[in-house]
Structures are given as structure tokens and as C-alpha cells.
Chains A and B, each alone.
Chain A
Amino acid sequence: MSDRDRGVEPPQPSEAQLHAVVDRHAAAVYRVALSIVGDPALADDVVQETLFKAWRKAPIDDDGQIPRAWLIRVARNTAISLLRTRREDLYSPEAMPESGEGVEVPRTVEGRAQVEDLWSAFRHLDADARALLVLKEVNGLSYDEIAMTLELPLPTVKTRLFRARNQLKDALKEWR
């Protein structure tokens, strides 16, 4: 039984341990958070809150790691909760990040405009649809992992993702 299970306060993390958790999970948590709150500053808050909660009370799996499904679920719930209390307009495409983790953001006017169109279409989906798309298409989770993470039945995940993809495609018809 761990200290957490016994209700004993866990020890403060060493710098290295904290860095490892952040390094492993922060980017995925950020993407999900941003897809829901739509604002980079709020997404930052969600990442910090999620990883703080993770350190305080996350379950530890057999490999001694914090389960990714648990983290993403906490991030999603934290983001939705934050959005309810601080409802603000989703951020404008001009505020989009200039560069990502090895992803080349289009530098041409046309490419940039396409990403802005995409973001505009994306932000009009509901929060769950946005999170589903990011989990599947960007974070690369399997359907089973998404179902476990969002605590939804597998068929529901598949049909919702199907609808979300089609909504996005419909909004981007001019790309074809």
C-alpha cells in the first residue's frame, strides 16, 4: 500500500521527478486543454493545475507511472470547469502559436489562412468533439484509450468522432 493509499501526505517531488512527469505529459495535456478552453493562457493554467493534482493524488500504475488516461481525464474536467467559471471568447487565430513540437506552421499567407480557417471551424465544434479530435488525430490515442479516458462507451466514441470529423470537413470544403 502506498503512502497515498494510507492517506499519508506524499513527499515533495525531487526536481528530476517533477521534470520527468512534465516532460512526459505536458504537451498532450496542453493540446487537450487548448482544444476545450481555446485560450493559450487558460490552457497553461489547466496544465499546471492538472500536473499539480497529478503529483498530489494521481494513481500510480504497475510501471510506476501516472496513467495517461487519468491525466487527460483530469485535464478535460479541469478545462471544462475553468471554462464554466471564466467564460471568455475563444482566442483569435492571430494568437495561434508560431511554432510547435516539430510541426511546421505554415509560413505562407495561404497556408496561414488555411490554418486560421481550420481553427475557426474547429472552435465551432462542441468541447467534447474538439477534445475527441485532438485525442485521436493529434495525441494519437486509440478508440479504446479514448473510451477509457473520457469514460464513454466505445461505439459512442466512434460515432461522435465520425460526426466531429464530418463537421470539420463540411466547414473546410474549400480546402479541396
Chain B
Amino acid sequence: MKSLWRAFSFMKPYGWYLFFGFVTTVLPVAMELSVPRLLQFMIDRGIYPRDLDMILLGAFWMFVAAMIGAVSTLGQGYCRAIVSQGLAFDIRHALFRHIQSLSFANLDQMQTGRLMTRVSSDVDVVRMFSSAGLALLLRVLLMIIGSMVMLLLTDWQLSLIMVAIAAISGFFIRYLMLQATRLFTVVQRQLGALNTLVQENLAGMQVVKAFVRARFEIDQFSESNDDYRERNIEVGVLMAIAMPILQILTNVGTVAVLWFGGVSVLGDRLTIGELIAFNNYLMIGMGPLLFLGNLLMMAARAEASAERIFEVFDTAPALKIASQPHRAQRIRGEVRFENVSFHYSRRVYPPSEEGGAWKGGKPSAFTRTNRANGVSGEDVLHEISFSAAPGQQIALLGATGSGKSSLVNLIPRFYDVSGGSVLVDGLDVRQWDAKALRSRVGMVLQESILFSGSVRDNIAYGAPDATLEAVVAAAQAAQAHKFITGMPKGYDSPIEAGGANLSGGQKQRIAIARALLIRPGILVFDDSTSAVDMETEHRIQTALETLAADATTFIIAQRITSVLRADKILVLDQGRIAERGTHQELLETGPIYREIYESQLGEVARENGRTRDSFTTGDAE
């Protein structure tokens, strides 16, 4: 329960609420426990001696007890709500803030889907346990202990029965927990298998249909489904047997009390009122035992969630902040790579055992890798050296996986180099204030990420204070103005989640406008015109020459036409700069470049002669 305790440390600011919550939990229990005593008083002092005043007195105190119980219950509810919601709010907030501070290296290792589960469902599980679970646990414990004490006070000899039964129940519950945990682990694993099967089937539906494999898929599902059902039945049967057994234990206690108590009454050691009170305490005390099993399950779940939450917290941002970070209003845009090598920290997959959660879990993938004890992946970049003067255009070419994106991601320090250094304006990026640097680097990422909000909000994402004129100018340069004004509400048109109402090319152009608007000193296009047709791309490039003439521009592209006019073309091959130079130089000296050129344009160029001829003849006629 270590992580759960850690989660509870977030309760600190709510100390007083916690204290009152405790008091208001104890009070109702005490009131409830007083009832059998008062009843006993009414029977022994009122009914048998036939004294109505005593009966009235007893009833009056019960009434008082009920009222005190009611008022404190209200108080308890309030405190619980404040504490648990506050706890959840604080954890959520801290978690979200922490996630925002994580570097790309961290994010690569955690799937965003999982991160979201941590912030929403895991926090909610902890919250629910901190409210209902904790209050119930406290109540159950107080009830059991309280009724034990009351039993001892009433008659210690008879209480031995209760102690015996409680002990047996305790052992039984422990046994039950062990069994259930084991079975739940299996069920959970089976569920995971079933989910994966369904998910893959649905995601690959086209393949399933194309190969006519529905029958095969159904058979596989059927097998897994049956297995899951049988495992579930095992758990269900265990519970179906266990709960009545606990009930029987309590009832056997009642009978034993009746017999031994009856004998004691006859021996005048006990009054009838006391016997009844004893029996009632037995019921009050044993009843909650039935809850205990469920509660422990809840606790185990909450612990698993808490563990996952702290896994995130314990992931230290991979980027270290310089002691005196450099801030600058503008950057000139000089970029230099000196002997840079880089690799992604490799993710170590632990044997994936979902059920680990039930056992109290194990530290999972990322906590371990981040402290990367020299665990390294293969180098993605080797000994990269080059420099770019302010205003120059650098193009990067190469096959997928040759390291182009990794290279540009080092400029705004999304990752730290493994060796060598990256300098912007002559200063190592590790000396820069990350935010200051990034807010001057216009990144157009490979996938255009749009946020819900208007088109204008999205373009002004990096500069929320920008005027409409500036936004329009950026959109015009990105060749987005035309389609934006064609939208029903122009720049105020809402963008649906994930940009569902825009085409791929439109999304890319908005992302480009966004990058232009911050008047960047360095501009990076990471394959960001792939969905834009060549004509438009050409116009964007022409517009860049005026709007972002001062910016050092890096272009990664698949189409060779996108890079022809660059000042410097770097051809990457397996993480190394294999060739460098201008288009003309590379055509003459770079075999890889020439190969790419040929495969894309060579034939067009070669055929040129013939088609040209037919053209001229056509014109001549």
C-alpha cells in the first residue's frame, strides 16, 4: 500500500477537514453502538420493573443519538467531499503539470493513451477510494472494534465466542483474498487477451475481409471468450460460496450466544436485556465483516492506480535545465552541429503482466529506463557536423529512418544529443532557456496537430496576442487564406476535434501559418507539405522568400522538387551525412542524390526531348 500512502500525502492541505471527517465518522458509529445498550437499559430498567419513565428516558436518548448521528453524518459527507475532490484536483493538476514538463524522450516511451488514463481514471479510482473506501474502512473497523469492546463490557465470557468467530472469519477472509487475487490476475490477463483480439480484428477489418478470415477470427474469439468466461465463473463461484460462509459464521455465533447466554441467564449471571444487547452487538460487529472483503479489493485497485500515477511522477524530465539559462528576445538563426551523435533511449519491455497490479505491482517500463543505466539504443545519428548561416535554406533528404526528423528535433532541444553539441547563435542549446528557444523556432511537425477552437486561435497558437491582420498575413503566405475565407465563418470557423473538418493539406497549411506567425528565427518543415499539391507548395515557398527571408529554414521533404532551391542539401543515409552540396553539385558528385533524382524526375527529364519535339511541331502547324 506504499503508493496509496504517497497519494494520501496530497491530503496534507486538508488537515482540518480530515480531522473533522475523522470525528464525524467516529460519532455516528458511537451512536449506533449505543443503541443496543439503551435498548438493554429500557428492557432491564423499564419493561421488567414496569417503569414507563425509564422507557421514555431510554427512547429519548436514542432519539438524541440519532440526531447527533445525523448531524455528524452531514458533516462527514461534506468533509469527505472536500478532501477527496481536493486530493483528486491537486493530484490531477500536479500530474498534468508534470506531463507538460516531460521531454519528447519521455513522451516517446509513454503512450499518450496511457498517460490520459493516469490523469483521468487512475486519479478517479484513488479519489473514490479516498472518499467512500476510506470512510467505509474506518467505519467497519470502528464498528468491529467498538462492538468488541461493548461485548467485553457486557460479558467477557460470552465475548470469547465473538473473538473466536472474528478470528475464524479473519483467517477465512485472508484465504479468500489470496485466492481471489490469484484468480483476478488470471481474469485480468484473459480480459487483456480478449481486448487485444477484438481491437486488432476491428482495426484490421479490411484485411480480415480481404482474406475471408471471418470464420478464423470467430473461432479465435470464441476460444478466448470461452476461456474468459470460465475464469470469470471460477471467481464468481468462489465469491458465491465465500459470502454465505461468512454469513453462516455470524449466524452460528448468534446461536452460540443464545445457548451459552441462555444458560448464563438461568445461572443469573446475565439479564435478559443484556442477552439481547449481546446478540445485537454481535450482529452489528459481524455485519461489516462482509464488507471487508470488498473493501480490500477496492484498496488493491486503488493501490494499483496510485502506483501508475507515481510512475509518471517519478519520471524525471530527461532534459536538465542549465543553471543560468540564456534568454533572448530574438535569435539570429545561426545553427551549428558539431560532431553530433544521438540515440533514443531504448524501451525495455518488462514481461507484460497486467495482473501485476493486483499483487501490488512492479515498477514498469519507464521508471527504469529513464534512469538509463547506460542502456542505449542504436545510434540514429552519427558524427553530424554542419553549419547554417542566418537566412539560409537547408534541405534534408534521405530514406525513412535515415535520421532526418531526429536531426531537426535536436534544434529546439526536443531531445538532448548523446554526443557532440548543437549550437544556436553560437550557444549550446543546453545553455538556452528551453521556452525562450522554442518560442523563436517555428516547427511545422510531421503530423499537423490542431486544437479545438477557431481557425484564428489555431494560427495564433504560438502568439495568442497577434492581431487579425498578422494572422491573415501568415495565412496568406501559407496559402491558407483562400480556403479559410471560404469556410462558413471565415477565421472564426470552429475546428472540430483533431481537425476532422479539414483535409490533410488544409491542416498542414494552418500548421505552416502558425509557424510563420511567431516570426521565427529558425523555421523547420518536417515533411509538412506532403498533402499539399505541388503548385501550392511552390507558392508557399515563394511567399516564404519575402515573409521569412531572415529565418534559417530547414526542409525535410519526400519530393525532390521541394528541395531543389536549397542553399545546402544534406543527404542522410543511416544516420550519417552521406552527401552535401547544392543541387547542381550533388547531381554531379552524389550517387544517392542522383538515384533519388532519377527515380522521381529522371524519366520525365529524359523523355523531355521527345515530348518537347512533338510540342514544337504541334505549335509550328
Our verdict on whether A and B bind, yes or no, reads: no
